[in-house]
Amino acid sequence: MHKVMIVDDEPMIREGLKSIIEWDKHGFTVVGEASNGRDALTKYRELQPDLILIDIRMPGMDGLQVIQEVRQNDTTTNFIILSGYADFDYAKQAIGFGVDGYILKPVDEDELETYVKRIADSLKRRGEQQASSEQTMLLRRDELLQKLAGNQSFEETTFDGEAQELLGTPAKYYQLMLIEVYSREHSLTRGDTFKKKLADLIEQKEIGFVFSAEPYIGVLLKDYLLQSGSREQMNGWLAELCGPNARFAAAVSEPVRDWRELQDWAPYVSGLLKRRFMLKGGQIHTASQTREDHQIESDLTPIMESFAQRFFYMIDIGSAEGVEKALREAEAQLGGAGDITEQQLKSTWAGIVSMVLNKVSTANPTLPIQEYLPMITALYLEHHYNEMLDKLNAKLIELAQKIGSSDASSVMKQITDFIDRHYYENLKLETLADLFNYNSGYLGKMFKSHTGQHFNTYLDEVRIQHAIELLQEGMKVHQVSERVGYANVDYFHSKFKKYKGVSPSTYKKI
């Protein structure tokens, strides 16, 4: 609604003017009144009315003096003068001040309504023109900033008057920020709603401009450096605008003195946000113009198998600390590769977990392993690498606590039990030392003291004992050799004869 103020020194006239026509019918509402010129100026500054009905003769300061004072800085407010005299000189002065109507008292209702309707139409056209002009400027500024964020070339004129017109008063510092808003729930309007709310906030704070930078939302910050407290403040604003059902990740350039320098920063800011999976969510990350390129093996199978075996061992002995240590080592080796994609990382971890669960299931046939299969699917639903690994770590530790060795009173008992369960694998003292967090030399002495045998001797005897059981079941020698951990059948022959005095073939016939 447009605002009307009524100025007259007679209270009855002021009251009559409020009701003489239907103001709201023409899009007006009466917001205030004044009884003299001085009071009128005070109310004008406070209310900023679109239309003032003012008596031409008032004590102290008359209507023409009020209009003259207003016109020094304001050429758009509309005036209708009310007068009890048909004075040509007054009318002439009023025309010079750009008034919209001159009505003699007593006021004629139809005459006043004609003027009001004419002014309403004028205000409507002015509003439409202003809105069109503002929309044009917004589109031009959006185009300019889109080119900036997209590292596109500008016309030379853009760097001169046009940029100042679109970007306003020059700032001491500028920063480019790109924001991605996302959620597991699909929404066609979430991004637009967030952008509008953010634009309103940034405009209200007078700290820059918001623009479209598909697939992101761009912000040109002016003299609002994202450092310490201001970064936390911006984080809070963005989180609040996201609400409970969405999240954000943002990347920002270093501050620059000349906004044109942001064009050089744009690829690094967008490049950082493209690796959003590797960033922590709900935070603003600063881009760098230097980047280390990491190489990763094209075939990840050996790495996956190695870590799967390590996880399996840690789960088997019930070591939560060991599970987390193995996970962080794998994270460092896989996540540090600059060229690996989100999909590759998720697929690699899904492969590792699948191998682990297969090993656990084989070693624990009665375990309802299907309860843990959803953790593989869950990997693909995570938005950030650190969150994916934290949840995976918790599930693997839960599994370790469920099936791992419950007797922690004796490290040596855990080690010998572990050997009894994994004798057929490529076990080494160094492997056990790493699993149980011991120096291998010290562990060797502990093992000899506890069992009376060196590690390799103890392992050989466990293997030979299982080999005897398999031979008695009728298995062939080469099959037994492989089943108990000897890849070379001749080596198995020599070991068997060393401990039993006869070859495995001869022992089988006894």
Per CATH, the homologous superfamily of domain 2-125 is Response regulator (3.40.50.2300)
pLDDT of residue 157: 44
Report pLDDT digits (tens) over 387-415: 999 999 999 999 988 886 544 446 788 88
* 318 contacts: CB under 8 Å, gap ≥ 6: 400, 401, 403, 404, 405, 406, 408
pLDDT at residue 154 greater than cutoff 90: no
- 3-state class (DSSP) for residue 102: strand
CA 52, 56, 61, 67 dihedral sign is positive
One-letter identity of residue 426: N
Q: Residue 437: is its pLDDT beyond 70?
A: yes
The single residue listed with the structure tokens 């855990």 is 414
Question: What pLDDT does 155 receive?
Answer: 56
Dihedral angle computed from the Cα positions of residues 489, 491, 497 and 502, in that order, rounded to the nearest 10 degrees: 30
Confidence (pLDDT) at 148: 87
142, 212 in Cβ contact below 8 A? yes
Across 3-25, average pLDDT: 93
Please, which residues bridge with residue 222 across strands? 174
**Quick one: fold of 411-509?**
Arc Repressor Mutant, subunit A (1.10.10)
Q: What is the mean pLDDT of the chain?
A: 87
Instruction: Delimit the domains of the chain by residue range.
Output: 2-125, 150-155+162-286, 301-403, 411-509
Residue 406 has a pLDDT of 45
Q: How confident is the model at residue 510 (pLDDT cuts 50, 70, 90)?
A: low
pTM of the model: 0.62
Q: How many CB atoms lie within 10 A of CB 287?
A: 21
Q: What is the pLDDT of residue 408?
A: 41
- pLDDT computed for residue 153 by the predictor: 64
Q: Please, which pLDDT band fits residue 289 given cuts at 50, 70 and 90?
A: confident
Q: d(Cα 53, Cα 422) in Å, to the nearest integer?
A: 98
Q: Report how far residue 417's alpha carbon sits from residue 199's, in angstroms, rounded to the nearest whole number.
A: 64
Q: Read off the pLDDT of residues 313-354 as tens digits, 9 standing for 90 and up.
A: 888 888 888 899 899 988 888 865 556 788 888 999 999 999
**Do residues 112 and 18 touch, judged by C-beta distance below 8 A?**
no
Is 150-155+162-286 in the same CATH topology as 2-125?
A: no
3-state secondary structure string, 50-87? CEEEEECCCCCCCHHHHHHHHHCCCCCCEEEEEECCCC
CATH hierarchy code of domain 150-155+162-286:
3.30.70
Q: What is the DSSP string of 153-215?
A: ---GGGGTHHHHHHH-S--S-EEEEEEEEE-SS--SSHHHHHHHHHHHHHHHHTSEEEEEETT
Would you say residue 504 has pLDDT above 70? Answer: yes
Identify the CA nearest to 266 among candidates 243, 281, 287.
287
Is residue 231 over pLDDT 70? yes
Is the pLDDT at 162 greater than 70? The verdict is no
pLDDT at site 336 = 57
What's the average model confidence in pLDDT over 215-241? 92
Query: Mean pLDDT throughout 208-214?
Result: 92
The mean pLDDT value for 442-465 works out to: 88
d(CA 130, CA 356): 66
Give the pLDDT of residue 347: 92
